[in-house]
């Protein structure tokens, strides 16, 4: 029988080979990480560039990823992903038809906006989200996201190392010590103190280090600064609603200032949802009848993708919106213009409320029935009610059906719509009515 140190000699060669493989994998992932200078910055006040071959960056297909399981997918059939610099908040908003030349800062007020021209914050929210990054995750944009990446790489490298080592050792021993005619089994030692101490102490040290760095990162992620900006988040099937304090501006996209700690206070109106922004390395469940919290500090202006990552029903895959990180001064301008715009009753604002208030989950626009009746053709028709009576589908009916839907219940539909009495401003209610009237 050979001495123990000679029997273990092949393991030194195996260990060296595994380390080379792990180093190669880590180097490959690092090589795919773009350098800071890879994206060409946009000069202040210049028009924002679009992807090659695209005249309008707001096209629906350019912003909606469809690949399931991908951290940050791009639209199918689009050109190769290119990091598009975010337009400056001081630039004037381009029209929906084509970008226009930028206007000087401070001139893009809601009142001075030309007919058909989108507000600057809508343009930012419709830009393609940032798809740059490495093989595993998009490029980080959270001040405290590096620790998550380092922990991920460390656990991945250790997992690969031990998987390869154990698999190779198993195959090696199966082949070397297989039963063969004429060979007698060699007696082996019942134990070896040095070897047993080694394979106990080394993994224990690894686990202690992983626990320490994991706990330190977790504690930092759940402890926001005292003066963090607070935003209320309400999730429901199948929409997000972000309420920006103290003015109370609500939006289906999340708008935040750059280099400012932001704390989200989140709850759900119906089922379990999950808030996930890959670029921020941030994920937190959103639960009915209780509050959950998450905080982050975005370091780069731009547009990033936000997903619901807890299956919540039929349109779960459509519950994705954008996070707009504003340059200094842009967030305050957003609050001012969005608040002024929300005071005006219009079908355009009604379309936003149709998504923001989650009407889209129960009421279609094409005549197909869902949980509730379709909005198509409802105005001007005769509405049959559950009690056997009928009413004219006019403004009074629409108002009553929104504020107290159970009093206007229709046959064949479950009583699942909540009452909006006291939850809508008069301008919001009128905007919804104008939007429904336009669905002919």
In 127-145, alpha helices (H):
none
The CA-based angle 240-242-247, given to 5 degrees, is: 155
Query: What is the C-alpha separation between 395 and 403, in angstroms, rounded?
Result: 12
Is the separation of the CB atoms in 377 and 440 below 8 Å?
Answer: yes
CB atoms under 10 Å from CB of 283, counted, come to 14
- Spell out the residues 6+ positions from residue 370 whose beta carbon is closer than 8 angstroms to its own: 361, 362, 363, 364
Residue 62 lies in a domain: no
Residues 287, 351: one domain?
no
Residues 427, 353: one domain?
yes
Angle between helices 9-31 and 146-176 (to 10 degrees): 150
- Spell out the residues 6+ positions from residue 311 whose beta carbon is closer than 8 angstroms to its own: none
Share of the chain above pLDDT 90, in %: 19
With 0-12 / 13-18 / 19 or more C-beta atoms within 10 angstroms meaning exposed / middle / buried, residue 161 is middle
Q: pLDDT tens across 357-410, in order?
A: 778 778 888 888 778 888 888 888 888 888 888 888 888 888 888 888 888 788
| Domain final position from 290, 319, 342 | 342
Q: pLDDT tens across 324-349, in order?
A: 999 998 888 888 887 766 665 667 77
Q: How many structural domains is the chain composed of?
A: 2
The residue segments making up the domain with residue 365 are 347-437
Residue 38 lies in a domain: no
Indicate left, alpha or beta for 302 from its phi (over 0: left) and psi (-120 to 50: alpha): left
Mean pLDDT of 25-37: 41
Is the separation of the CB atoms in 239 and 206 below 8 Å?
Answer: no
Query: What is the C-alpha separation between 234 and 240, in angstroms, rounded?
Result: 6
Residues 324, 355: one domain?
no
Question: What is the CATH classification number for the domain harbouring 273?
Answer: 2.60.40.420
Mean pLDDT of 180-190: 79
Q: pLDDT tens across 112-168, in order?
A: 454 456 777 677 776 766 666 666 778 888 888 777 888 888 899 999 999 999 999
Across 200-204, 246-250, 373-377, 393-397, least confident range: 246-250
Across 79-83, 116-120, 275-279, least confident range: 79-83
- Is 310 in a helix, a strand, or coil? coil
For the record, the structure tokens of 123 come out as 């343009």
Residue 228 reports pLDDT greater than 60: yes
Cis bond before residue 238 (omega within 30° of 0): yes
pTM beyond 0.85: no
Residue 205 lies in a domain: no
Higher pLDDT, 395 or 284: 284
Question: What is the CATH classification number for the domain harbouring 395?
Answer: 1.10.760.10
- Spell out the residues 6+ positions from residue 22 whose beta carbon is closer than 8 angstroms to its own: 157, 160, 161
Residues 285, 353: one domain?
no
Residues 257, 359: one domain?
no
């Amino acid at each position: 029988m050979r001495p123990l140190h000679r029997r273990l000699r092949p393991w030194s060669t195996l260990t060296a080979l595994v380390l080379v493989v792990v180093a190669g994998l880590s180097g490959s992932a690092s090589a795919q990480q773009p350098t800071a200078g890879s994206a060409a910055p946009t000069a202040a006040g210049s028009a924002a560039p679009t992807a090659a071959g695209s005249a309008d960056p707001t096209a629906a297909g350019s912003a909606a990823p469809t690949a399931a399981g991908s951290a940050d997918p791009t639209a199918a059939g689009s050109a190769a992903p290119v990091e598009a610099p975010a337009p400056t908040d001081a630039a004037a908003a381009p029209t929906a038809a084509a970008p226009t030349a930028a206007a000087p800062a401070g001139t893009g007020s809601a009142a001075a906006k030309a007919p058909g021209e989108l507000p600057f914050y809508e343009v930012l929210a419709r830009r393609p989200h940032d798809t740059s990054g490495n093989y595993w995750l998009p490029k980080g944009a959270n001040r405290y996201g590096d620790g998550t990446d380092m922990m991920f790489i460390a656990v991945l490298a250790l997992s690969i190392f031990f998987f390869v080592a154990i698999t190779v050792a198993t195959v090696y021993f199966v082949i070397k010590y297989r039963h063969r005619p004429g060979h007698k089994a060699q007696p082996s030692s019942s134990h070896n103190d040095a070897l047993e101490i080694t394979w106990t102490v080394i993994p224990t040290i690894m686990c202690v280090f992983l626990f320490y760095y994991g706990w330190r990162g977790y504690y930092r992620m759940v402890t926001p600064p005292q003066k963090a900006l607070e935003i209320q988040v309400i999730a429901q099937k199948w929409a997000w609603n972000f309420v920006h304090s103290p003015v109370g501006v609500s939006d289906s996209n999340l708008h935040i200032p750059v280099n400012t700690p932001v704390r989200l206070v989140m709850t759900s109106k119906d089922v379990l949802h999950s808030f996930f922004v890959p670029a921020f390395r941030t994920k937190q469940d959103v639960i009915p009848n209780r509050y959950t919290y998450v905080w982050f500090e975005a370091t780069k202006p731009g547009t990033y993708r936000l997903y619901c990552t807890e299956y919540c029903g039929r349109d779960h895959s459509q519950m994705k919106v954008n996070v707009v990180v504003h340059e200094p001064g842009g967030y305050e301008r957003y609050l001012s213009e969005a608040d002024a715009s929300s005071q005006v009753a219009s079908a355009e604002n009604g379309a936003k409320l149709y998504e923001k208030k989650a009407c889209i989950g129960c009421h279609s626009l094409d005549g197909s029935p869902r949980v509730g009746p379709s909005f198509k053709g409802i105005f001007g028709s005769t509405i049959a009610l559950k009690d056997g009576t009928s009413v004219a589908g006019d403004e009074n009916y629409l108002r009553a059906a929104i504020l107290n839907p159970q009093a206007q219940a229709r046959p064949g539909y479950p009583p699942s719509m909540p009452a909006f009495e006291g939850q809508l401003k008069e301008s919001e209610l009128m905007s919804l009515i104008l939007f429904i009237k336009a669905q002919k």
